[in-house]
C-alpha cells in the first residue's frame, strides 16, 4: 500500500522556535510538495521539489524553507515560528514531470499551533 | 495560474439525496482532479478526468472541456459521504504536476 507519512499529527510550538516538519514517501516519487490549508483559503503551495536537492518556491514561501537530501524525504522548516503560521500542513508526492494528470498522494497532515 | 472556483461552499443533505458539486476553472487544461478530505485531514484522490465521465461506485464525475466546467455527483448519499470535496486543476504553463485547488465544498449528510 503506497504511503506518505508525516512526522507528527499535532504539534504545539512557541513563537520564535525553529520547527521541523518531516514527510516521507515510499513510492519512489520524484515530486514532493508542501501545502498549508486554512479555512476559506483552501490548499496553498508553500514549496515543492522535483528531485533531490532541487526545490522551487510555491505561492507562499515567506517564513519557510525546505530540505530534500534524500529522494524519499522532504522537510519543511519554519525558521522562527510565528502565530500566523498556525495551520494544517499537508505533504504530497507525485511521480514524474511534465504530466499535469499525475495523481498526488497526500500525507495525513500536521496540525501546527504556534502560541 | 489557473483560477478554480467551486460551488456551493457548504452543502447539507438528507440521506438518500442526489448531490452535485460544481467546479469551474479559467484556463484550458488536460485533466482535472477531484479529491476527498475526511475530518482529521487525510486527502485522497477520487478522480482524474480529461473528458466525458467517470464513475466509481456512487460517485460520478463529469467534465466539459469547452465550457471549463466539471461536476461531481453523489447518488443515494450516505452520512459516510460527509467530507470536504476539492477540485484541482493543473497550473497553465507548468510541469511537475503543480495544481491550483478550489476552496472546497463541505458536505454534510444527515441520517
CB A105 within 8 A of CB B48: no
**Residue numbers in B near A50 (CB within 8 A):** 96
* pLDDT reported for residue A41: 87
Mutate to test the interface with B, among A60, A61, A100, A110 (most CBs of B within 10 A): A100
For residues A108 and A88, give the distance between their C-alpha atoms in angstroms, rounded to a whole number. 10
Q: What's the 3-state SS for B25-85?
A: ECCCCCCEEEEEECCCCCEEEEEEECCEEEEECCEEEEEECCCCEEEEEECCCCHHHCEEE
pLDDT band at B96 (very low <50, low <70, confident <90, very high): low
Quickly count: other Cβ atoms within 10 Å of residue A59's Cβ. Answer: 14
For residues A53 and A68, give the distance between their C-alpha atoms in angstroms, rounded to a whole number. 5
Q: Is A63 on the interface with B (CB under 8 A)?
A: no
pLDDT tens sequence for chain A (115 residues): 669 999 999 999 999 999 999 999 998 999 999 999 998 888 999 999 988 989 999 999 999 999 999 999 999 999 999 999 999 999 999 887 655 557 889 999 999 999 9
For residues A46 and A69, give the distance between their C-alpha atoms in angstroms, rounded to a whole number. 18
Contacts of A30 (CB under 8 A, 6+ apart): A50, A51, A71, A94, A95, A96, A97
For residues B41 and A92, give the distance between their C-alpha atoms in angstroms, rounded to a whole number. 13
pLDDT band at B2 (very low <50, low <70, confident <90, very high): low
Distances (CA, A) of B11 to A70, A84, B7, B47, B84: 42, 29, 9, 20, 10
pLDDT digits (tens, 9 = 90+) for B22-59: 999 887 777 889 999 988 778 999 998 888 999 999 99
Q: Do A90 and B43 touch (CB under 8 A)?
A: yes
B32 min Cα distance to partner chain A (Å): 7
Q: What single-letter DSSP state applies at residue B18?
A: -
B55 min Cα distance to partner chain A (Å): 17
Q: Is B106 on the interface with A (CB under 8 A)?
A: no
Q: Is A5 on the interface with B (CB under 8 A)?
A: no
Closest CA to A35 of A24, A43, A23: A43
CB B24 within 8 A of CB B111: no
Q: Which three cell numbers stand for residue A47?
A: 514549496
Amino acid at each position: 500500500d503506497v504511503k506518505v507519512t508525516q512526522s507528527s499529527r499535532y504539534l504545539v510550538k512557541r513563537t520564535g522556535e525553529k520547527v521541523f516538519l518531516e514527510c516521507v514517501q515510499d513510492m519512489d516519487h520524484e515530486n514532493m510538495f508542501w501545502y498549508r490549508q486554512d479555512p476559506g483559503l483552501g490548499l496553498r503551495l508553500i514549496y515543492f521539489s522535483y528531485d533531490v536537492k532541487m526545490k522551487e518556491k510555491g505561492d507562499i514561501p515567506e517564513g519557510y524553507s525546505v530540505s530534500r537530501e534524500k529522494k524519499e524525504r522532504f522537510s519543511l522548516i519554519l525558521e522562527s515560528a510565528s502565530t500566523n503560521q498556525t495551520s494544517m500542513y499537508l505533504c504530497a508526492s507525485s511521480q514524474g514531470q511534465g504530466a499535469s494528470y499525475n495523481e498526488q498522494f497526500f500525507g495525513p497532515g500536521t496540525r501546527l499551533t504556534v502560541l | 495560474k489557473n483560477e478554480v472556483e467551486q460551488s456551493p461552499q457548504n452543502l447539507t443533505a438528507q440521506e438518500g439525496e442526489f448531490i452535485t458539486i460544481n467546479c469551474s476553472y479559467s484556463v484550458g487544461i488536460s485533466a482535472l482532479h477531484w479529491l476527498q478530505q475526511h475530518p482529521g485531514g487525510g486527502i485522497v484522490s477520487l478522480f482524474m478526468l480529461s473528458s466525458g465521465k467517470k464513475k466509481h461506485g456512487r460517485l460520478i464525475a463529469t467534465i466539459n472541456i469547452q465550457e471549463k466546467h466539471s461536476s461531481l455527483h453523489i447518488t443515494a448519499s450516505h452520512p459516510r459521504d460527509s467530507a470536504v470535496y476539492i477540485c484541482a486543476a493543473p497550473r497553465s504553463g507548468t510541469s511537475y504536476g503543480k495544481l491550483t485547488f478550489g476552496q472546497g465544498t463541505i458536505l454534510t449528510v444527515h441520517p
